[in-house]
Amino acid sequence: MLSYIRRDKAYFFAAIAAVFAVFLLIGGVLLTRTPGYAIYINGEQVFAVKDKAAVEKAAMQIQKQEEKHYHQKLILASPLECKWRLVRKSALLKPGAAEDELADNLDFKATAGAIIINKKALTYVSSPQGAERLLADLKKEYSQVEAGEKVLSLAFVEKVQVKPVQISVRQIASRQKAYDLITTGTRNPEKYTVKEGDSLWQIARQNDMYVEDIIKANHLETDKLALDQQLILVKSKPYINVVTRVKGEKMEEIPYETKVITDKKSPSRVAIKQNGKNGQKHIVYIASKRNGVTAKREILEEKIIQAAVDRVIVKGSGVKIASRSLTSRTGNMSWPLYGVMTQYYGGGHPGIDIGVHNGTPIYAADGGVVYYSGYSGGYGYCVKIDHGNGLETLYGHCSKLVVSSGQMVAKGEIIAYSGNTGYSTGPHLHFEVMSGGAKTNPIAYLR
C-alpha cells in the first residue's frame, strides 16, 4: 500500500510539472507571438501583418499603378498568399508599411514588344507598337538627305523583327535605354557629366576618343555643351544599322595641285609664284549611306565647270622641299597645343581659339608643306601648311616662327610659339582648317 502511494505521488508531481511546463510554453508563446497573417510570395514568407485586408488593398493599388505606367492590363507573376498564423510580434509590419514591401517583391507580366535582331531578342519595350515606333524613328533619323538628293531605298542591314511577348515588367527597358542600346551597342555606356570649362576636345582627349565619336554617340548637332549635360563615352557599334540609297546632284570642288619649280640661279630662294585655286564640277551620283555616313558613291555624270589652278612654288637648288607625294601627312590631325577653348567655330569666327601662356609650343596638326610663314595682318605672325588633297591649316597670333615657306614638316613637329600678335586680346592660338578652299570646323578633324 505504501509503495502504491509513493508511486502515485510521483505520478502526481510529474503531472503537475508537465502542466506547469505547458503553461510556461503557452505563456511564452503568448508573450512573443500574436495572431496574424504570414504573407507568402512565390511560396516564400516575406513578412507578416495583422490586417489581411490592408495587404490585399495595397497589392491592388500597386497593380493599378503599374497598369497605368504600362498602359495595359497586367498579370500577377508572383503568387500572393495570406495565411493565418501565430506570428512573431517582432516580425509584424507597422500599418502602412506593407505597400513598400509588396512593391519590392511583387512582379507583374505585361505584353511587351520584343525587338529581335537576326532571330535573337535584343531588348523589350512597353508594347509592340512602341517597338515599331522606335524602329521607325531610327529609320527616319537616317533618312535625312542633303540638298539635291532623294531617297531611292531605306532598309536595315540586319534582319529586324518585332514580336509581342508576355514578359516580366522588370525586363522592359525605357524607350531611351532601348534606343541607346541599339545605337551604341552597349547596355551600360560610360557617361560623363559636363563641368564648367569643359569642351568636346578636352573630353575626347581625356578619354582617348575622337570628337566625332562623341558627337555620333550623342547625336549632337553642335559642339557647344551645357553645364551638367550627360554625354555617352563610347565608340558606337550599333546593333541595328540603317542603309540609305540616294541619288543626287551637286557642285563639287576640284582640289588644286602643288607644283615645285627649281630655280638654279637663286640657291636659297623660296617663293610662291602662283596661288592655287580650286575648280568646280557638276556631278550626278548614286550613294550608299550607312547610318547617315556615305560608304560608297558611284558617279553617273561629271561636268567640269571651272578647272583648278595649280599652286606653283619656286625654290632654289639649295632648298630641300618635299613634293606632295612625299609629305608625312597621316590623314588624321592632332591638336596643335592644349589649353582652354576661348572661342568656338561659327558665328563669323572661321576657326577656334585656344587660350595658353605666351611662348607655348605650337605643333603641326599633320604633316605637309609650309606655304606661308610670316606676318599676315590681323593674324599677326602665322604659319600656313598645305597637307595635300585640298586640306590646309593656319596657326595665327604667334610670337615666334620656327619654320620657313617651302619647308616640309612632320605631324607633331614644333612650327611656332604662341603669342599675342596681330588683332588679339591676349595670348592664344587661332587655328583654322580649310578644305577645298572653304573654312570648316576644326573640331571635326581633331583628336
Q: Where do the structural domains in the chain lie, given as residue ranges? A: 36-105, 107-185, 190-236, 244-318, 340-444
How confident is the prediction for the chain on average, in pLDDT? 83
pLDDT at 35 over 60: yes
pLDDT at 140 over 60: yes
Residues facing residue 349 across a β-bridge: 346
In this prediction, residue 28 has a pLDDT band, given cuts at 50, 70 and 90, of very low
Q: What phi and psi, each to the nearest 5 degrees, are found at residue 376?
A: -140, 80
Cell readout for 372 is: 606661308
For 172, half-sphere exposure in the C-beta direction (CA atoms, 13 angstrom radius) is 24
Q: Please give the model's pTM, rounded to 2 decimal places.
A: 0.59
Cell readout for 143 is: 533618312
Mean pLDDT of 249-269: 77
Mean pLDDT of 313-331: 55
CATH of 340-444, one of 2.70.70.10, 1.10.260.40, 3.40.50.10310, 3.30.56.10: 2.70.70.10
For 257, half-sphere exposure in the C-beta direction (CA atoms, 13 angstrom radius) is 5
Inter-CA distances, 42 with 36, 92, 105, 169, 418, Å = 19, 20, 9, 17, 71
* Class of the CATH domain delimited by 244-318: mainly beta
Portion of the chain with pLDDT greater than 70, in percent? 88
**Which pLDDT score, from 0 to 100, does residue 267 have?**
66
Portion of the chain with pLDDT greater than 90, in percent? 34
Closest CA to 366 of 334, 406, 343: 334
Q: For the domain bounded by 190-236, which CATH number is listed?
A: 3.10.350.10
Query: Would the CATH topology of 190-236 be identical to that of 340-444?
Result: no
**Which pLDDT score, from 0 to 100, does residue 124 have?**
96
